[in-house]
Structure 1
Amino acid sequence: MTAVQTALMLTLSTHFALSKSRLSSLVALITGLAQSRTVNLSHLASHLPGRALPASHYRRLQRFFQFVRLDGDRLAVLVVQMLNLQRPKCLALDRTNWKIGSTDVNILMLAIVTRRFRVPLLWTLLPHQGCSDIGQRIALMRRYLALFDASSISMLVADREFIGAEWMDFLSENNIKFVIRAKIDMTMTLEDGRAWSFQSLLRRKRGRRNPAIGWGHLSGTFAPARHPVNFAAKRLKDNEWLIVVTNRDDPRQALNDYRKRWAIECLLEDTRIRSHDKLSCLLVVVTLAMVWAYRCATKTMGRKAIRRKTHGRREKSWFRIGLDALRNWISNAPENAADAWLHNAPNQPQARPKI
């Protein structure tokens, strides 16, 4: 057994109840995913150790996804521990939808967004195409709150799909600060009791240099929201209004906070797996590979910042630096790859981190 395999099995064996054979397959999947940069099982099978025929390796992976179910909630705790994210953090809510043949794959995902990291944390595979409903969003947030305290969330950011009076009341009642983009046709009930759409409120505002701000109760399906929200709006370069609603005190700052949102760059679209249980298992594998890459980036860069190019953007993302290092180390310096994974890695599962 190589140093890399030993390192991963040491940590993962204490967090996932798997036989030695299944655990070995999980480790091979994580390392293979990093090396091949694909979730296609045919490509991943070529990275399995041993002299068996490719068809046998492929069948081994098929059996893994057929019989193994990895606990996504336990993964969330492991991600926070591995990336040392105990301090309050920004969460981003997003959804992605694509088709495999005639089958819709629709994932509602909660991710951690920091200055360096963008990593999936919890998700739900929706049984339909299109937008999530309020009940599904609340259920996902309840899963988070069962694992972590509400004080662990510095802010939740989300796009226009995730608007709604009942949903934002739930967040406010659970002490979760949020910044969510609003649709221009949504209605606010102001202090004087009159209801206005954002389109009417902003009709005479230029909003390019000085954002328009205000507060009120967002109109819901059956009644206005119980908790008031602030809003801020500014015109973008294409003349479209960017409107955000927030329960934070400074609505102007919320416009900057909204920039921290994260759109899912789904890594599963190269798979042919359709089963929700199997896809969820694959997402756990992808997330573990991402965590490993981020740890390699930290080992490579330390406290240094990534150099900016003349246009102002970073030369590379933190993830790309880590992935490049990880792929190189697995092949040429396995002790570095193993050390990046093991450094301060939790060898005992922790049920509920104290934030």
Structure 2
Amino acid sequence: MMPTAAHAALQDTLGAHLDLSKSRLVTLATLVIALASARTVNLSHAAAQFGGSARHASNYRRLQRFFQYVRFDQAMIARLIVRMLTFERARDLALDRTNWTLGRSEVNILTLALVTRRFRVPLFFTLLDHRGNSTSEQRIALVKRYLAVFDASSIRVLLADREFCGEGWMQFLQEQSIPFVIRMRQDLRVVPLGTENRWRIDSLLRRPRKRQTFEAKLPETGTPISIAAKRLRDGEWLIVAHNTGRGERALNTYRRRWGIECLFADLKRRGFNLEDTRLADPEKLATLLGVLILALVWAYRCATDLMGKKAIKRKAHGRREKSWFRLGLDTLRRWLFNEPENAASAWLRTCPKPKANQ
């Protein structure tokens, strides 16, 4: 692939934010474009995107060296994301894990993501060195990295599934004045306000009502929480702990957590096929995720340029024809092949320019 306006846009802007040599910037720009164009993180496909007369094997080795030596600052990437998506107001965050098996290795990524009606993008992530759930300490460390860059007031609400209901973790969120809505397991024990005894949550939901709310404390830390629950169609209880006021609102807010599940699907089978990677080293995999985040944001910028304030049409069954991500990715790929100046314009429109003293 010959260098285009899209290559130049990425190199010029990212060179102002990343401490990379010209050769590394060319590799990064080509890699971002290759991931979007080929919809795979397979480096053999990416190596075919380089222009010039170099052999495929040489370009492949060039990519291997890139992942061997290049490391991204997640804080810088997070600032860039928020600026490019023009999302400076208070935002919804979602916490979750995605994992898969790579040979004998287990890839396990704890992710804190920005989720909106249109966008879902990772801001910070941690590659866990073990299988299964994260610990409260790992979650707290991840959120502290966010708080080192953005103020707690920038979080409208933090959403998490029932995997993330540790007492120390929830106490930390209360102490940091972070609004949260976290799903709870029905066998967890709490201390209802006005009592001294521990009760299983499902024992407190015996009244024949579809929606119930009550106030309680966590038994070990004494952290005050509000509980809201409703019976789902399959008979299971949806139970959330929150500190956001009305229980009905908390239950409705929790529905937005699904955005991070959609994000993982975008990074995997519906978008960039992340599980195709053969990179098992955590540092190299973190670099790959940084590149993918840039491609993801670019796709969203293309969707915004194409649609403006218009909504995607709904089909007869009521669902949108495409997700905002898929519309953006399809548009980005089409523009890269046929109208690279449009792809460049979508990137340049909101990519922040560095200050003169930087």
> Under TM normalisation by the shorter chain, which class is it?
over 0.9
After superposition, the Cα gap between the structure-2 partners of 1:349 and 1:76, relative to the gap in structure 1 and judged at 3 Å, is farther
Question: Is the Cα contact below 8 Å between 1:28 and 1:49 reproduced in 2?
Answer: no
Decide which of 229, 251, 254 is 1:255's aligned counterpart: 251
User: Does the 8 Å CA contact 2:109/2:128 hold for their aligned counterparts?
Assistant: yes
Tell me which residue corresponds to 1:117: 119
- Give the alignment partner of residue 300 of structure 1, picking from 296, 301, 306: 306
Q: Percent identity?
A: 55
CA RMSD of aligned residues (A): 1.4
Structure 2 residue ranges without an equivalent (≥5) = 269-273
Match for residue 239 of structure 1? 235
Q: C-alpha distance in 2, partners of 1:51/1:225?
A: 67
Aligned equivalent of 1:81:
83
By how many angstroms is 1:349 displaced?
Answer: 6.8
Residue 170 of structure 1 is aligned with which of 161, 169, 172?
A: 172
TM-aligned CA deviation for residue 206 of structure 1: 4.0
* SS across alignment from 1:78: helix
Say whether the 8 Å CA contact 2:91–2:155 is kept in structure 1.
Answer: yes
CA contact (8 A) 2:86 2:350 kept: no
Q: 2:318 aligns with which of 297, 312, 317?
A: 312
1:350, distance to aligned residue in structure 2 (A) = 11
Equivalent residue, structure 2, for 1:204: 207
Structure 1 spans left out of the alignment, 5+ residues: none
Q: Is the 8 A contact 1:14 1:349 kept in 2?
A: no
User: TM (normalized to structure 1)?
Assistant: 0.94
* Residues 240-294 of structure 1 deviation map (CA, whole Å, 9 limit, x = unaligned): 1110010111111111111111223343211010000000000000000000000
Partner of 1:269, secondary structure, is helix
| 1:25-174 aligned within 5 A | 25-174=27-176
Is the 2:118–2:324 contact (alpha carbons within 8 Å) kept by the matching residues of 1?
yes
Q: Match of 1:93, SS?
A: strand
Equivalent AA in structure 1 for residue 175 of structure 2: E
Aligned equivalent of 2:18: 16
TM-score, normalised on structure 2? 0.94
Q: Pick one of 331, 346, 349 that aligns with 1:343.
A: 349
Are the counterparts in 2 of residues 189 and 224 from structure 1 also a CA contact under 8 Å? Answer: no
Native 8 Å contact 1:40 1:271 kept in 2 = yes
Q: Whole-Å Cα distance in 1 between the matches of residues 21 and 355 of structure 2?
A: 17
- The alignment partner of 1:147 has SS state of coil
1:216 counterpart letter in structure 2: A
Tell me, in whole angstroms, the C-alpha distance in 2 between the residues paired with 1:105 and 1:133: 16
Which stretch shifts more, 264-273 or 177-186? 264-273
Q: Which residue of 2 aligns with 1:332?
A: 338
Q: Which moved more, 1:262-271 or 1:117-126?
A: 262-271
